[in-house]
């Protein structure tokens, strides 16, 4: 057989790894043919809606549902009393705590679920919510975690007397856990003996992932078959199935969980919410499907906040700037219940990546979790577990140290980077960084932006400012971040006891096309596009001939889902491994067809050919047909494989970001003049999609750093529960990003990929914030808390006496 195409042409036809393949999802989405949870319509479907507490801390003295029940269309109203006989008035959280499903005697945060109204349509449900009469008796409110630890007010009366929590001893009735890592005594000694110690409180404010689609579900209990189908905005559908089974007592095989198209997740859709439990109960009680979709206010007020970490830091160095030690004590505000979504053994997530990109010989971290009268959550808003907090902390501490040493912050970073020959690198707080080349990335970034010239321009601007020629300052924001993603090794990472492996099953059809199913679920990342590219490169079938399915627990193999940038590091690895199993069998089939020994054929892009005789080959397409057509001695028919991949280590993507910002001293307004983002995520699967992820993540980071906040007043009223008050940048404010890359493959990942989705959020927040700080550094600013909205920047200038 003659083949007209060159190897490169055949390779290009596959649209495999490295190609900017257009997304297969987009044909549906651009025509409005996505199928999101609120698009699901089942026969006889009812609607659920919540009565929520207007108070942040109160006793619920009575609930009267009579008037609500009299409203036409209202079918039922559930309260904690109805759920109690089922044992469902409380539910376990992912963090080892428990949480009220419906108010059981008291409420602990504004917006807490008090009653669940079920009605024929959403308007009647809303009418019912209005008509439920609830009497409250207000209790003292605590919104500050430091006060909570001193207060006599007991927030969690259900835990009174319990001195031991899920993560060890509780020191106070409002204390949840203390988590310690590293060498306390050694670090204290280094701090005592150091030439220089810089100390600062770094606060990473409370914010919210706020995907454009809110959370929701449709629960449908089929009373004839006894099977529950639960459609929902789940980032982890398989884990949700197991959780539903465990808390409801319904056998797991009788539960089918389906994540349809998801309109963005960013961590908001990892947890289990009261709405899911109530909808399931409502469907069981009524025998009809029940839909619950939260509105934006409910989303911002009640489901899954992020951050809220008070990080007290001390960093020690020699006079020359070599860092000798890092100390961090974090007070973590968890709200009314500890509903963080972290692996079980990590109550503060991977906060112990807070030594960042630097070779810091000694370090100590302690985190105290605290209850307050704020919404529960603590999810990772587009980051691996608490990694943005860690990156923000270290990147601020480096800047603070640079001020203390009177050094250039770029140079200070350079002399402290972990060197490329130190990988795999053992960090002082317990991680083994897989690979990196920080110096190369840093130099590439500084050169790309013309760092030296920027500093000269900035110096001139300061002169001009002092001379009264301008009222605008320039800030140059620097960040070099290291992520830790791809949770994770089953030996130390689990959620509710479920090991954090992931999976892929591939079936090759006789005509040489395929379907692959994964344990993850896309929420905009483009899995249907990129995972097909991995398979295309591994088995030589065109990506266009590979269908990808996720999110239906009846058909997909079990996996822990998509969050923490774990899809490519874990499920992507499973995909490659499953494909390799297929290729191994294909090799035997090819050898049989070519009448040679298995070892005498070799892989060549899309085929096996006889070694030394490349004109004798069998394409993967031919092999696929043979798998279903030939009786091959010693081989089963068919061609399919499944892989459950337990990663040997996390992956450590990194990046160098530089922002140039103009700041108007008199108005506090800013303008992002340029933003450069270099990402090293190891092997790149689809550069177009990587760029898109970076643009999106940086925009989230821009929002968080420059204005986005979940704020409370002293009464515990949420002051930012609509998109009027909660900052989401529009196309008008959003900067334009320049993306760049380097490639340092992960040595332990089958294709060397590390994941990228969350890097830009992790890296851009400190970068924007550092730019603000840098602008005011010559005037004495050391630390000012985010978000840097116009008023806060104006206030910095005022406090520094720049308004004369």
Catalytic site positions: 235, 382-383, 758
Q: Rank residues 513 and 734 by Cβ distance to another protein and give the closer one.
A: 734
Q: Does 42 bind another protein (CB under 8 A)?
A: no
Looking at 15-55, list the stretches that DSSP marks H as alpha helix, in order from N- to C-terminal side: 26-29
Least Cβ distance, residue 74 to another protein (angstroms): 13
The correct pick among 6, 7, 9, 30 for binding another protein (CB under 8 A) is 30
Q: Does 731 bind another protein (CB under 8 A)?
A: yes
Question: Least distance (Å) from another protein to the CB of residue 435?
Answer: 28
CA distance 793 to 804: 16
Q: Which of 3, 38, 662, 669 binds another protein (CB under 8 A)?
A: 38
Binding flag, residue 389, another protein (CB under 8 A):
no
E-assigned strands of 554-701? Answer: 601-603, 607-610, 613-619, 640-645, 654-664, 670-680
32 binds another protein per the rule CB under 8 A: yes
- Which residues lie below 8 Å from residue 333, measured CB to CB, with a gap of 6+? 145, 206, 308, 309, 310, 370, 372, 374
Helix, strand or coil for residue 385?
Answer: coil
- Binders of another protein in range 623-652 (CB under 8 A): none
722 binds another protein (CB under 8 A): yes
Closest to another protein by CB, 549 or 646: 549
Q: How far is the CB of 695 from another protein (least distance, A)?
A: 3
Rounded CA gap, 97 and 178, in Å? Answer: 14
Instruction: Identify which range of 119-127, 275-283, 333-341, 631-639 contacts another protein by CB under 8 A.
Output: 119-127
Choice from 3, 12, 34, 146 touching another protein (CB under 8 A)? 34
| Interface with another protein (CB under 8 A), residue from 65, 416, 427, 523 | 523
> Looking at 380-527, which runs of residues are DSSP E strands?
425-426, 432-433, 472-482, 494-495, 498-499, 502-508, 514-518
Q: Which two tokens stand for residue 469?
A: 């020629």
> Which stretch in 120-128, 344-352, 389-397, 420-428 sits in contact with another protein by CB under 8 A?
120-128
Q: How far is the CB of 307 from another protein (least distance, A)?
A: 17
* 291 makes contact with another protein (CB under 8 A): no
Burial 617-644 (b: 16+ CB within 10 A, else e): bbbbbbbbbbbeeeebeeeeeebbbebb
Range 211-230, binding another protein (CB under 8 A): 211-214
Which tokens sit at 426? 């053992």
Here the tokens at position 433 are 């960084």
Exactly one of 9, 39, 252, 253 binds another protein (CB under 8 A); that residue is 39
Residue pointed to by tokens 């960090």: 427
Does position 434 bind another protein by CB under 8 A?
no
Strand boundaries in 407-562, DSSP class E? 425-426, 432-433, 472-482, 494-495, 498-499, 502-508, 514-518, 546-550
Which of 200, 261, 679, 758 touches another protein by CB under 8 A? 261
CB crowding 303-333: b at 16 or more within 10 Å, else e: bbbbbbbbbbbbbbbeeebbbbbbbbbbbbb
Nearest residue (CB) to another protein, 27 versus 459: 27
Sign of the C-alpha dihedral, residues 231, 232, 235, 237? negative
> Would you say 332 and 306 are in contact if contact means Cβ atoms under 8 Å apart?
no
- Nearest 10 degrees: Cα torsion 761, 764, 769, 774: 170
Nearer to another protein, 36 or 779 (CB): 36
Give the nearer residue to another protein in terms of CB position, either 262 or 797: 262
Task: Out of 36, 146, 558, 603, point to the residue binding another protein (CB under 8 A).
Answer: 36
Residue with tokens 């709405």: 275
Nearer Cβ to another protein (23/227): 23
Neighbours of 226 (CB within 10 A): 10
Site for another protein in 680-699 (CB under 8 A): 688-689, 691-692, 695-699
- Burial (CB count within 10 angstroms: exposed 0-12, middle 13-18, buried 19+), residue 367: buried
**127 vs 545, which CB is nearer to another protein?**
127
Assess 736 for contact with another protein (CB under 8 A). yes
Shortest distance in whole angstroms from residue 28 CB to another protein: 8
697/755 with CB nearer another protein: 697
Query: Which residues are within 8 A (CB) of 731 and not within 5 positions of it... i.e. 6 or more apart?
Result: none
Mask for 49-88, x = binds another protein (CB under 8 A): -----------------------x----------------
* Residue 24 to residue 41: CA distance in whole angstroms: 25
Closest among 644, 401, 628, 399 to 507, alpha carbons compared: 628
Told to check if 123 binds another protein by CB under 8 A, we report: yes
740 makes contact with another protein (CB under 8 A)? no
Binding site for another protein (CB under 8 A): 22-23, 25-36, 38-39, 41, 72, 121-123, 210-214, 261-264, 266, 293, 295-296, 523-526, 688-689, 691-692, 695-700, 722-724, 728, 730-732, 734, 736-737
């Amino acid at each position: 057989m003659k083949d007209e195409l060159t190897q490169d042409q055949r390779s290009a036809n596959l649209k495999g790894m490295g190609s900017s393949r257009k997304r297969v999802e987009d044909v549906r989405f651009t025509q409005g043919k996505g199928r999101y949870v609120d698009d699901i319509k089942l026969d006889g479907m009812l609607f659920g809606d919540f009565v929520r507490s207007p108070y942040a801390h109160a006793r619920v003295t009575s609930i009267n549902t009579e008037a609500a029940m009299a409203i036409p269309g209202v079918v039922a109203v559930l309260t904690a009393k109805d759920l109690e006989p089922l044992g469902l008035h409380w539910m376990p959280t992912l963090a080892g705590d428990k949480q009220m499903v419906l108010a059981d005697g008291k409420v602990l945060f504004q917006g807490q679920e008090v009653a669940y109204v079920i009605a024929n349509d959403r308007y009647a449900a809303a009418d019912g919510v209005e008509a439920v009469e609830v009497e409250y008796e207000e209790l003292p409110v605590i919104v500050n975690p430091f006060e909570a630890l001193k207060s006599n007010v007991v927030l969690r009366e259900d835990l009174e007397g319990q001195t031991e929590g899920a993560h060890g001893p509780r020191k106070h009735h409002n204390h949840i856990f203390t988590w310690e890592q590293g060498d306390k005594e050694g670090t204290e000694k280094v701090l005592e003996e150091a030439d220089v110690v810089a100390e600062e409180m770094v606060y990473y404010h409370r914010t919210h992932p706020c995907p454009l689609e809110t959370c929701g579900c449709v629960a449908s209990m089929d009373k004839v078959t006894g099977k529950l189908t639960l459609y929902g905005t789940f980032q982890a559908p398989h884990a949700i199935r197991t959780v539903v089974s465990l808390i409801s007592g319904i056998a797991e095989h009788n539960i089918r969980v389906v994540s349809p198209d998801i309109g963005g997740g960013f961590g908001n859709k990892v947890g289990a919410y009261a709405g899911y439990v109530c909808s399931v109960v409502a469907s069981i009680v009524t025998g009809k499907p029940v839909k619950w979709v939260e509105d934006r206010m409910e989303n911002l007020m009640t489901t899954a906040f992020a951050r809220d970490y008070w990080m007290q830091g001390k960093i020690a160095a020699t006079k020359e700037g070599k860092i000798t030690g890092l100390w961090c004590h974090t007070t973590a505000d968890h709200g009314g219940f500890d509903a963080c979504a972290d692996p079980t053994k990590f109550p503060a997530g991977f906060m112990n990546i807070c030594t960042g990109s630097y070779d810091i010989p000694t370090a100590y971290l302690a985190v105290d979790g605290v209850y307050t009268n704020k919404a529960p959550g603590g999810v990772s808003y587009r980051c691996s577990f608490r990694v943005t907090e860690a990156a923000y902390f270290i990147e601020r501490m480096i800047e603070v140290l640079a001020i203390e040493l009177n050094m250039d912050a770029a140079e200070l970073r350079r002399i402290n980077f972990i060197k490329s020959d130190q990988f795999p690198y053992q960090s002082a707080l317990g991680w083994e960084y897989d690979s990196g080349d920080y110096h190369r990335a840093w130099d590439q970034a500084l050169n790309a932006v013309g760092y030296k010239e920027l500093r000269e321009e900035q110096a001139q601007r300061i002169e001009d400012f002092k001379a009264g020629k301008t009222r605008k300052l320039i800030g140059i924001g620097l960040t070099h971040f290291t992520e830790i993603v791809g949770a994770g090794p089953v030996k130390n990472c689990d959620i509710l006891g479920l090991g954090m492996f992931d999976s892929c099953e591939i079936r090759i059809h006789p005509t040489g096309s395929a379907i692959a199913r994964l344990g993850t679920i896309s929420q905009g990342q483009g899995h249907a596009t990129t995972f097909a590219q991995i398979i295309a490169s591994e088995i030589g079938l065109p990506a266009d001939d590979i269908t990808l399915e996720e999110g239906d627990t009846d058909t997909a193999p079990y996996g822990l889902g998509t969050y923490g940038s774990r899809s490519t590091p874990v499920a992507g690895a499973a995909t490659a491994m499953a494909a390799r199993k297929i290729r191994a069998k294909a090799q035997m089939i090819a050898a049989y067809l070519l009448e040679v020994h298995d070892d005498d054929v070799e892989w060549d892009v899309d085929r096996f050919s006889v070694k030394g005789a490349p004109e004798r080959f069998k394409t993967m397409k031919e092999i696929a047909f043979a798998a279903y057509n030939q009786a091959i001695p010693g081989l089963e028919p068919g061609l399919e494989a499944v892989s459950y991949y337990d990663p040997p280590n996390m992956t450590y993507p990194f990046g160098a970001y530089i922002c140039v910002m103009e700041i108007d001293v008199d108005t506090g307004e800013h303008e992002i003049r340029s933003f450069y983002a270099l990402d090293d995520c190891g092997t790149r699967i689809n550069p177009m999609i990587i760029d898109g992820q970076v643009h999106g993540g940086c925009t989230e980071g821009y929002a968080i750093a420059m204005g986005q906040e979940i704020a409370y007043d002293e009464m515990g009223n949420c002051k930012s529960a609509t998109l009027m008050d909660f900052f989401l940048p529009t196309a008008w404010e959003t900067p334009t990003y320049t993306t760049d890359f380097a490639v340092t493959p992960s040595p332990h990942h089958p294709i060397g990929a590390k994941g990228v989705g969350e890097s830009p959020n992790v890296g851009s927040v400190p970068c924007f914030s550092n730019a603000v700080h840098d602008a005011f550094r010559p005037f004495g600013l050391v630390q000012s808390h985010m978000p840097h909205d116009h008023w806060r920047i104006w206030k910095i200038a005022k406090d520094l006496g720049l308004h004369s």
